[in-house]
Amino acid sequence: MAQGSTKVRIIGGGLTGVLAALQAHSLGWREIELHERFGELGGSDLPRLDHGLELRGRPRLFGGPSDPVRALLESHGLAFEDAENRAGSVSPTPCGDMTIVHDFAGPALRTRQIALSTWTGDSLADRLRAYPSDIGQPLTRYLQWRLGAWLDEVHADAAVGLGVDQVFPTGGDVADLALARRACPLHAELYAIPRALCGRLDDTVVGVPAGGFAGLLAGARRALERLGVSIRLNSLIAPGQALADHAPGDALVWTADPSPLFALAGLEPPRRVGRSLVTHVFKARYAGPVPFVLRNFTAQGAVCEIHLYESRGQVLLTARCVTEASDADLRREVHRLMSSFGGASLCLGEQMLSTVGPQESCLTIDGAKKLKAMRIGLQRRFGAGFIDAGWACAHENQRLASIATGLSQARETLETVAA
């Protein structure tokens, strides 16, 4: 590392910020500051605890042993347990009943044809127009139910977080679909075959932090301290302050909410779209495999997603809802959706948590454009030393790759200047 180019300041101490600090150290940076506005690392990623039980509002799983995020954490002594990646989905049919699919968390919809149209445009509505109407219409109903927003305002990349990035078209021959996927990249991108039908072995293993997610973050803090990373808790850094404190040779990685940066770049923050989700967490008894994720694509009822997981030997069930529901109605709907997935063994106990929060993955067309403009504007002011955290990326390993690329480019640029 060239003289004077040794400091990395990371704003945001959630999981992405922790990974950024570990990645910076692995790339040779040694003076690393990690700023977190709350009193513990984790930020919004830190689960609420109730008598040691982690009350998780959404699934928090890692990939198998080859997953880059997991591998980076394991290289610093953090332990994971392998579990089978189990999932399911319920989808509507033209006659009003439900299609049940095991080992696939996306929609399964009947169609008379699988041919796709050319996909043009950046919106979620544009993406749906690539499908035949048998698939596009029920997907539109689901997304309007889930979001409560115009789909031409939502960016197509939001499909990943909303669970509609791939569809299984039922009513046809799986062999024909497999042939179409091999022959056409668009088919491979938009259509999928459930693992139970195609026998694929990839993506069947997930990593579960051995001590829970809170234990993972505590262990990450100890690892960072061993590396000499300066952890600044209760440290709220305003964008103007970050700019004023930025010195030539510094690298600034912003992993926190980017909303405050728009004003710094002379932009209006993008308007949020999509209704809030209501999240409930229950104690449960369940004889089926955990972790388990079930998605409801029928656009009926209140529950859009169910997540079963284990914390300190106790099975917990998280139900994410598009609207409020009474306790009795909520329990009935959970049992109805789970009926084909070991539901007979499911017994819901006391409700541990009820919260309301925004959709996490509803990137808009306007938001995507402004994020790009903001990134360009800040890089002009900060130079190679400003690194965004891949804010628009849907997966943690994509964000890690974006940060690693930025840190590497910053180091190369600064060393070239110094030489």
- Provide, rounded to the nearest whole percent, the portion of the chain with pLDDT above 90: 62
Q: How far apart are the first and last CA of the chain?
A: 11
The reported pLDDT for the residue numbered 292 is 95
Beta-carbon-side half-sphere exposure of residue 301 (alpha carbons within 13 Å): 24
Between helix 15-26 and helix 212-226 the angle, nearest 10°, is: 30
Give the pLDDT confidence of 202-224 residue by residue, as tens digits: 457 899 999 899 999 999 999 99
The reported pLDDT for the residue numbered 265 is 82
What's the CA gap between 110 and 89, in Å, rounded? 14
Both tokens assigned to 222: 């100890």
Q: For residue 384, what pLDDT band results from cuts at 50, 70 and 90?
A: confident
What's the CA gap between 252 and 374, in Å, rounded? 15
The reported pLDDT for the residue numbered 263 is 86
Give the pLDDT confidence of 255-280 residue by residue, as tens digits: 998 888 888 888 888 888 888 999 99
pLDDT over 70 at 169, yes or no: yes
pLDDT over 70 at 398, yes or no: yes
b (16+ CB within 10 A) / e for 98-111: bbebebbbbbbbbb
Helix (H, G, I), strand (E, B) or coil at 231: strand
Q: For residue 415, what pLDDT band results from cuts at 50, 70 and 90?
A: low
The reported pLDDT for the residue numbered 417 is 58
Pick from 400, 333, 296, 340: nearest CA to 14: 400
What's the CA gap between 306 and 125, in Å, rounded? 26
Q: Which residues are within 8 A (CB) of 265 and not within 5 positions of it... i.e. 6 or more apart?
A: 373, 374, 377, 378
What's the CA gap between 317 and 280, in Å, rounded? 8
pTM above 0.85? yes
pLDDT over 80 at 248, yes or no: no
What's the CA gap between 169 and 182, in Å, rounded? 16
Cα torsion 23, 26, 28, 30 to 10°: value is 70
Q: Which residues are within 8 A (CB) of 397 and not within 5 positions of it... i.e. 6 or more apart?
A: 63, 67, 68, 69
Both tokens assigned to 213: 């997610």
pLDDT over 90 at 393, yes or no: no
Mean pLDDT score, 293-311 = 97
What's the CA gap between 327 and 177, in Å, rounded? 42
Peptide bond into 258 cis (omega under 30): no
pLDDT over 60 at 1, yes or no: no
The reported pLDDT for the residue numbered 266 is 85
What's the CA gap between 35 and 17, in Å, rounded? 9
The reported pLDDT for the residue numbered 198 is 61
What's the CA gap between 191 and 168, in Å, rounded? 6
Q: Which of 61-70, 197-206, 279-288, 333-342 has the lowest mean pLDDT?
A: 197-206
More confident residue, 216 or 419: 216
Q: What's the one-letter identity of residue 370?
A: K
Mean pLDDT score, 243-252 = 81
Q: For residue 15, what pLDDT band results from cuts at 50, 70 and 90?
A: very high
Give the pLDDT confidence of 303-318 residue by residue, as tens digits: 999 999 999 999 999 9
Ordered domains of the chain (ranges, CATH): 7-83+207-270+363-418 (3.40.50.720), 86-198 (no CATH), 275-357 (3.30.70)
- Provide, rounded to the nearest whole percent, the portion of the chain with pLDDT above 70: 96
Q: How far is CA 93 from CA 96, 192, 299, 358, in A?
A: 5, 18, 12, 29
Q: Which residues are within 8 A (CB) of 51 and not within 5 positions of it... i.e. 6 or more apart?
A: none
pLDDT over 70 at 3, yes or no: no
Helix (H, G, I), strand (E, B) or coil at 113: coil
Pick from 295, 294, 298: nearest CA to 95: 298
Give the pLDDT confidence of 318-372 residue by residue, as tens digits: 999 999 999 999 999 999 999 999 999 999 999 999 999 888 778 899 999 999 9
What's the CA gap between 324 and 356, in Å, rounded? 9
Strand ranges inside 205-345, DSSP E: 205-209, 230-232, 251-254, 277-285, 292-296, 303-311, 314-321
Q: For residue 2, what pLDDT band results from cuts at 50, 70 and 90?
A: very low
What's the CA gap between 285 and 23, in Å, rounded? 40
Q: How many CB atoms lie within 10 A of CB 175?
A: 10
More confident residue, 374 or 297: 297
DSSP state of 385: G
The reported pLDDT for the residue numbered 201 is 39
By the 8 A CB rule, do 148 and 306 touch?
Answer: no
